[in-house]
């Protein structure tokens, strides 16, 4: 009997220990895939659809962080909008003295504005940025004022630049969301798109040639990668604004202070391409509704979509897309062609994912006063 109790006691002990050990097993995170979100090491990150501007993933995307050399995206934007690509830029003593990541420009050296852009964006030349700024703005300080003004105009409200290259400076900051917004805007410039997608190039000056290689490793390792800019300082850590295009879809990712900016960026891009799809909600000019017109030479106009509306949705939520239409039911003439008279809103599971103005398909003049007078029944007292 005693042996029997010992056996039972031993068995219960084994079961108890097994249960405890199973409960204490470490829980490993699921690798990103079709049914999970990216596991990002960066302090701040975002994934944005370049076509619609929709945010597909974010982590502390509004946290203000030093951007390091991703600053150069805005510098390039202003240089492209304010300068001529074939203009000759003469390097000043101040620009030539800028250190750290540099092209080793020499005082008095002459290059085209386009070649300086390649130097700034491919090899992150800090000296190239100052040369560009002085050529266009007179001084770097003047150019920085333009950078901050432009940032606000395109919706980067939480950004403040203190220089053109991203070298550490007090109150020089941005957010992952703002960087994505700036990048989405500048990608409309085909020259920028060409430059940031270039792997290697040779540029020339009056002092010789330089062989440039892009610091963005994703251009060499990720299918569809087409930009845009690395950034690294002790203060900012490792940063990367990346972009890739596949099957007609372009995604923009941003990571700030990442332990592995390449893996973080690839995980987000994979997530965006695998999990989401773009849908056309409505075509420009499509008739949505009719609206009654009072006191006009015609009694009705059509409400049409002012532009195409595309949205991005999870692949397993396509069936939840709904369209909500609101229009002015009655309008008094005159009405202008293209006048906003309503709105179509796209929702998925009750969440707004996009919208477009509905406008009048034609103009309607107001009926002359005499016709209005006789057209109305007027009852006078007897």
pLDDT, tens only, 281-325? 999 999 999 999 998 899 899 999 999 999 999 999 999 999 999
CA–CA distance, 84 with 115 (Å, rounded to integer): 12
Instruction: Give mean pLDDT, residues 175-199.
Output: 98
Contact between residue 67 and residue 239 where contact means Cβ atoms under 8 Å apart: yes
**According to the model, what pLDDT value does residue 17 have?**
37
Instruction: Give mean pLDDT, residues 128-141.
Output: 98
The domain limits of the chain are 44-275, 283-367
Model confidence band, residue 375 (pLDDT cutoffs 50, 70, 90): low
pLDDT of 18 > 90? The answer is no
**According to the model, what pLDDT value does residue 6 have?**
46
pLDDT of 374 > 90? The answer is no
- Where b means 16+ CB within 10 Å and e means fewer, 86-102 reads eeebebbeebbebeebb
Span of 28-37, 77-86, 209-218 with lowest mean pLDDT: 28-37
pLDDT of 13 > 70? The answer is no
Mean pLDDT estimate for the chain: 90
How far is it between the farthest Cα atoms of the chain? 122
Query: What architecture does CATH give domain 44-275?
Result: 3-Layer(aba) Sandwich (3.40)
Dihedral angle at the C-alpha atoms of 326, 329, 335, 340, nearest 10 degrees? -10
Model confidence band, residue 369 (pLDDT cutoffs 50, 70, 90): confident
pLDDT in tens, 39-82: 999 999 999 999 999 999 999 999 999 999 999 999 999 999 99
**According to the model, what pLDDT value does residue 21 have?**
32
Q: How far is CA 338 from the centre of its chain?
A: 29
Secondary structure percentages of the chain, helix, strand, coil, to 5: 35, 30, 35
Evaluate the omega torsion of the peptide bond into residue 217 and state whether it is cis, within 30 degrees of 0.
Answer: no
Span of 11-20, 96-105, 207-216 with lowest mean pLDDT: 11-20
Contact between residue 83 and residue 132 where contact means Cβ atoms under 8 Å apart: yes
Helix axes 140-153, 72-82, angle to 10 degrees: 100
CA–CA distance, 43 with 319 (Å, rounded to integer): 35
Does 170 or 33 have the greater pLDDT score?
170
CA–CA distance, 315 with 4 (Å, rounded to integer): 60
Contact between residue 298 and residue 364 where contact means Cβ atoms under 8 Å apart: yes
CATH 2.60.410.10 is the classification of domain 283-367: yes
DSSP string, 171-236: T-BB-HHHHHHHHHHHTTSHHHHHHHT--EEEEEETTEEEEEE-S-THHHHSTTEEEEEEEEETTT
Instruction: Give mean pLDDT, residues 260-277.
Output: 97
What separation, in Å, do the N-terminal and C-terminal C-alpha atoms of the chain show? 122
**According to the model, what pLDDT value does residue 330 have?**
85
pLDDT in tens, 88-108: 999 999 999 997 878 999 999
């Amino acid at each position: 009997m005693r042996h029997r109790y010992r056996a039972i006691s031993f068995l219960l002990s084994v079961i108890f220990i097994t249960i405890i050990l199973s409960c204490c097993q470490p829980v490993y995170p699921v690798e990103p895939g079709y049914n999970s979100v990216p596991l990002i090491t960066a302090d701040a990150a975002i994934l944005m659809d370049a076509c619609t501007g929709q945010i597909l993933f974010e982590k502390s995307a509004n946290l203000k962080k030093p951007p390091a050399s991703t600053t150069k995206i805005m510098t390039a934007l202003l240089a492209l909008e304010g300068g001529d690509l074939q203009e000759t830029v003469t390097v000043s003593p101040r620009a030539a003295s800028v250190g750290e990541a540099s092209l080793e420009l020499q005082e008095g050296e002459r290059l085209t504005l386009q070649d300086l852009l390649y130097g700034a964006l491919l090899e992150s030349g800090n000296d190239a940025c100052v040369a560009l700024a002085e050529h266009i703005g007179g001084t770097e300080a003047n150019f920085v004022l333009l950078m901050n003004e432009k940032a606000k105009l395109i919706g980067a409200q939480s950004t403040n630049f203190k220089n053109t290259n991203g070298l550490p400076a007090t109150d020089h900051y941005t957010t992952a969301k703002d960087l994505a917004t700036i990048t989405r805007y500048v990608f409309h410039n085909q020259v920028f798109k060409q430059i940031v997608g270039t792997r290697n190039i040779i540029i020339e000056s009056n002092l010789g040639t330089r062989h440039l290689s892009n610091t963005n490793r994703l251009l060499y390792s990720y299918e569809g990668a087409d930009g845009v800019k690395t950034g690294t300082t002790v203060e900012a850590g490792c940063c990367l604004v990346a972009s890739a295009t596949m099957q007609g879809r372009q995604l923009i990712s941003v990571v700030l202070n990442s332990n592995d900016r390449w893996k973080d960026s690839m995980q987000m891009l994979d997530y965006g391409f695998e999990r989401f799809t773009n849908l056309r909600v409505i075509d420009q000019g499509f008739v949505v509704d009719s609206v009654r017109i009072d006191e006009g030479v015609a009694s009705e106009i059509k409400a049409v979509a002012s532009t195409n509306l595309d949205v991005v949705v999870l692949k397993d939520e396509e069936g939840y897309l709904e369209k909500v239409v609101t229009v002015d039911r009655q309008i008094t003439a005159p009405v202008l062609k293209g006048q906003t008279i309503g709105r179509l809103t796209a929702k998925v599971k009750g969440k707004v994912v996009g919208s477009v103005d509905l406008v009048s398909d034609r103009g309607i003049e107001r009926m002359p006063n005499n016709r209005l007078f006789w057209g109305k029944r007027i009852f006078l007292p007897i």
